Amino acid sequence: MKYKMKIFSGLIFTLCLLMMFVISCSPKAQNTTNGIITHTPTITMTPTCAPISLSTPEGWVTDTNLYVILYDPRSVGEETLTFENRETTQDIPDFIQKIVPKFLKPGDQISIFQLGYSSYEAARVSRQTSYTTVPPLYNTPSPNSTLTPVPTPTIVGGFGPVQATNQAKIMQTQRAAIEEQVNSEYNCQKKYWNDNVGATAAIWDVTATAEVLNLNSKLKADFDQFLQNMNAIEEPFRTNELYYGGVYNGLSFATRVFQSDGTGCAKYTTCTLIIIDDLETWKPNNPDNLNIDLHGVNIYAILPNCWDMDTTACKNTRSYWDSEFKEFGASVTPTYWNGERAEINLLNEIGR
């Protein structure tokens, strides 16, 4: 009898153990919903992208420029102006219309005046302003440089093999962490480019092209209208001073443009004055005491009548105007050319 009781007790104990095991392996009550077993996944941390600062593409123009062109259509004389393709012209308005599209960019402003007038309104041929803002664009990201190989550890003392192995493991672990960070940053840059910059670049290319074409079309229309109505406001060259160039009047018109909003050239990357004229005057030293201020302005003058810039007359002209421009605030000595290589010289200097 006692033997049977022991067997029965053993069975009861075994059944209890089985029940405890089953209960311990069953899902907890809070992980079931309507009798269906649920699972809450563990959150895996992924690297977040820090603020991206990619490099601006080389040659990408983000500056803005203010240009003023003064010209006298008679000043070419018997000489010519030479284009980049070696063609020549004696028509200064034609020369201007062909070169301006090669350096004018979205965001720039340009005003053009014909010399020989005493009033701003009569002398103004064209004023074109681009209100297009250059967007932030960046180079396509490229993989960062790979790390240098893990150096051979220095073995010291009698535990050389163990020490070398441990150092190698530590350095390999550190290297893996750095490589992971490098790859993470590169992936962040790629994502930023694909999500933001790539589409912007494509749209900007179309916008910039349309903007420049629009400015060029307006410029041609303005020249056509001006040449048809040259005497509408004032007869040009009506006084000795105006007949012999009227350069000082032109410089006063340029000053009004450079100071039009009260900030001078502060809001532009560069302010540039281009003069196509023989720079002759009737009386010297601003005889009418006109308001002329050329602070912060880069000055380029093409003297078509100077077939040789080193002749005495041309050297005297340059010397005289060097002094005058300095008196008017120009801090950089003007650059002078004649009609030879006129387009190449100008574009090489101010950009294209």
pLDDT band at 342 (very low <50, low <70, confident <90, very high): very high
**Measured distance CA(352)–CA(45) in Å, rounded:** 50
Confidence (pLDDT) at 118 = 95
3-state DSSP helix/strand/coil % of the chain, to nearest 5: 45, 10, 45
231 pLDDT higher than 70:
yes
The more confident residue out of 127 and 50 is 127
Q: Assess contact for 275 and 335: CB atoms under 8 A.
A: no
Q: Residues 218-223: what's their mean pLDDT?
A: 90
Confidence (pLDDT) at 31 = 38
DSSP 352: -
185 pLDDT higher than 90:
no
Confidence (pLDDT) at 7 = 52
Q: Are strands 297-302 and 335-337 parallel, antiparallel or unpaired?
A: parallel
Q: Quote the mean pLDDT of the chain.
A: 78
- Could you state, in order of their start, the residue ranges of all structural domains in the chain? 65-137+203-350, 159-201
Q: Where are the beta strands (DSSP E) in the chain?
A: 32-33, 36-37, 65-71, 81-82, 88-89, 109-114, 124-129, 270-276, 297-302, 335-337
pLDDT band at 19 (very low <50, low <70, confident <90, very high): low
**Measured distance CA(86)–CA(82) in Å, rounded:** 6
42 pLDDT higher than 50:
no
* pLDDT tens-digit series, residues 60-95: 556 789 999 999 999 998 899 999 999 999 999 999
Confidence (pLDDT) at 115 = 96
CATH of 65-137+203-350 among 3.40.50, 1.10.3470, 3.30.460, 3.30.200: 3.40.50
* pLDDT tens-digit series, residues 119-163: 999 999 999 876 665 565 566 666 666 555 555 556 555 556 666
Confidence (pLDDT) at 104 = 84
**Measured distance CA(81)–CA(220) in Å, rounded:** 19
Return the number of other C-beta atoms located less than 10 Å from residue 272's C-beta: 22
Confidence (pLDDT) at 71 = 97
* pLDDT tens-digit series, residues 241-283: 888 879 999 999 999 999 987 776 888 889 999 999 999 999 9
Confidence (pLDDT) at 26 = 45
Is this structure's pTM higher than 0.75?
no
* pLDDT tens-digit series, residues 314-341: 999 999 999 999 999 998 899 999 999 9
240 pLDDT higher than 80:
yes
* pLDDT tens-digit series, residues 275-305: 999 999 999 999 999 999 999 999 999 999 9
The more confident residue out of 198 and 56 is 198
pLDDT band at 35 (very low <50, low <70, confident <90, very high): very low
Backbone φ and ψ of 70, nearest 5°: -115, 135
